[in-house]
Structure 1
Amino acid sequence: MFSIEGNLLKAGMGAILAVMAGLPVGAQSLQERVPTCFECHGEKGQSQLPEVPSLGAQPALYTLVELVMFRDKLRLTEPMNQQTVGLSDGDLRALS
């Protein structure tokens, strides 16, 4: 298992978005949703908000499990529950 940090996070998200571009996901595509992720969690995975976790050093599997829990409302935390509405398992794997 590996962690994604700093510029690797941004580069990885760019690659994911390139693959996913144009594939609608619910009301928004992944490409449209990712900037919202960066607003809170930081472009390099380092949140500047004390109530928002940094994701840059998290293992992909941990992130995937958390995203599934938010989507399926097994973990109730807004805005994450709203952000994951309509995402498929494949979408969540791509984001993690």
Structure 2
Amino acid sequence: MTDKDKLSVTVDPDVAAAARAAVSSGRAGSVSAWVNQALHRQVDHERRLDGLERFVAAYEAENGIITDEEMSDAARSARAGAIVVRGKRSHGAA
């Protein structure tokens, strides 16, 4: 068995119910395993955000601050090239 740190946490009732449901349905071996998996995803998410922040800072240091207009243009371009796989493309969405 690997080393583990025991924690005592307080969570919202709906989160606790979701954890118990995951165990009941066999998607998790225990509430602790379910929470541990969720914490691993959060750590990965934060590492990715940190990497993105460093990338943007380096880009802006070399090219200048990314403007709101540039971000809007990029979003518009991405939407225009998107492939709709379900539903309808929203017209006029900003």
Q: TM-score range by the shorter chain?
A: under 0.3
Q: Which has the higher strand share?
A: 1
Q: Which has the higher helix share?
A: 2
| TM-score, normalised by the number of residues in structure 1 | 0.24
Query: Which has more radius of gyration?
Result: 2
